[in-house]
Amino acid sequence: MATAEERSFRGAARRLGMSPSALSHSMRSLEQRLGARLLHRTTRSVAPTEAGQALLERLGPPIAELGDAVRDVGAFQQQPRGLVRINMPRIAAQLVVMPKLAAFRVGYPEIRLELVIDDGMTDVIAKGFDFGIRSGAIVQQDMISVPLTQDLRMAVVASPTYFAERSLPRTPAELNGHDCLTYRWYETGALHPWRFDGPEGPVDVIVDSVMTANDTDLLLDGALRGCGVALLVESLVETYIADGSLQRVLADWCKPFPGFHLYYPSRRHMPAAMRTFKDWMRLS
């Protein structure tokens, strides 16, 4: 196509970044494979034969479509548009993503976000997500990890009406006998451990579970309704503690742990939409 448009092997070779002799050789090889002469050659010019012209007319539209496709791929690298898929626990969506979402949509209207709530330990990359958000303590070491929040803490809470009829636990061991609302991972069936940090190191407590759920909002709702004691991320319950809807115990036994991180497998060839979302979450 380049040779026919330039009407010259020299001009076409210059356009394609190759030598005229290499282009002429490639042209002869193509004609041999097709069994048809595609170009008339003279010492002064080159022109397509009837077969060559017919082939050019057939090739034009699909070649143009291929060019558009390649340019579109390049646009994904340069212009922030397209779909970004993020897998995260509910608490991360509530505390990290949703407060920033409205401003992000105003700034980047051509980026579409798919937010999937998943409190489990899913391999988000294997499932086709662009990013995951989890506590930095559980992000795999082969991932690139970007911190989004300060360190987190857990909080042991129940409603004042629940504690009105029971003694307040002063140590994790004193949770025995209390009605506890516990988190269970749906995929594995494992219960989230009630783990504390004391003067002599970590302490794991097996609690009496009166209700399990794989949703932190249900555990929070149960605690607010006086159903029992829940172990939840401090940021999720601090407003309820402040207004007296929940009462906190064992605060000294709950030490900070790494906050939420955005993670992904590689920096190479990151589309502009992904790069924009990453930078927005990190800097805004």
The reported pTM is 0.66
Q: What is the CA radius of gyration of the chain?
A: 31
pLDDT tens readout for residues 103-154: 999 999 999 999 998 877 778 877 889 999 999 888 888 888 899 999 999 9
CB 46 within 8 A of CB 8: yes
Nearest C-alpha neighbor of 127 from the set 94, 92, 88: 88
Q: Which residue has the higher pLDDT, 43 or 153?
A: 153
Neighbours of 205 (CB within 10 A): 19
Indicate if the pLDDT at residue 77 is higher than 60: no
pLDDT of res. 138: 82
Whole-number Cα distances in Å, 14 to 42, 46, 199, 247? 19, 15, 76, 78
pLDDT value at 226 more than 80 = yes
Residue 209: band (very low, low, confident or very high) from pLDDT cuts 50, 70, 90 = very high
Where is average pLDDT lowest: 17-21, 207-211, 267-271? 267-271
Tens of pLDDT, residues 166-178: 999 999 999 999 9
Pairing of strands 229-233, 180-183: parallel
Mean per-residue pLDDT over the chain, rounded? 89
The string of DSSP letters for the chain reads -HHHHHTSHHHHHHHHTS-HHHHHHHHHHHHHHHTS--EEE-SS-EEE-HHHHHHHHHHHHHHHHHHHHHHHHHHHHHS--EEEEEEE-HHHIIIIIHHHHHHHHHH-TTEEEEEEE--S---TTTTT-SEEEEETTSS-TTSEEEE-S--B-EEEEE-HHHHTTSPPPSSGGGGTTS-EEEEB-TTT-PBPPEEEEETTEEEEE---EEEEES-HHHHHHHHHTTS-EEEEEHHHHHHHHHTTSSEEE-GGG---B--EEEEES--TT--HHHHHHHHHHHH-
**pLDDT of 63 strictly over 60:** yes
pLDDT of residue 238: 94
Q: Which residues, at least 6 apart from 260, have a Cβ–Cβ distance to it below 8 Å?
A: 92, 95, 96, 133, 134, 135, 136, 147, 148, 149, 152
pLDDT range class, residue 284, cuts 50, 70, 90:
low
Pairing relation of β-strands 131-135 and 82-88?
parallel
In whole angstroms, give the CA distance from residue 203 to residue 196: 5
Quick: pLDDT tens for 227-283: 999 999 999 999 999 999 999 999 999 999 999 999 998 766 688 899 999 999 988
Specify the pLDDT at position 76.
54
Residues 6+ apart with CB under 8 A from 18: none
Residue 74 binned pLDDT confidence (cut-offs 50, 70, 90): low
Q: In what order do the strands lie in the sheet with 111-117?
A: 111-117, 82-88, 131-135, 260-264, 144-147
* Per-residue confidence (pLDDT) for residue 154, from 0 to 100: 95
Share of the chain above pLDDT 70, in %: 95
- The predicted pLDDT at position 139 comes to 85
Q: What CA–CA distance (Å, rounded) separates 228 from 88?
A: 27
Residue ranges and CATH numbers for the domains of the chain are 2-78 (1.10.10.10), 82-148+259-283 (3.40.190.10), 154-253 (3.40.190.10)
| Residue 71 pLDDT > 70 | no
- 37-46, 50-59, 99-108: which range is least confident on average? 37-46
Residue 75 has pLDDT above 60, yes or no: no
Query: How far is it, in rounded angstroms, from Cα 203 to Cα 198?
Result: 7
The per-residue pLDDT for 18 is 92
Q: Determine the pLDDT at residue 174.
A: 95
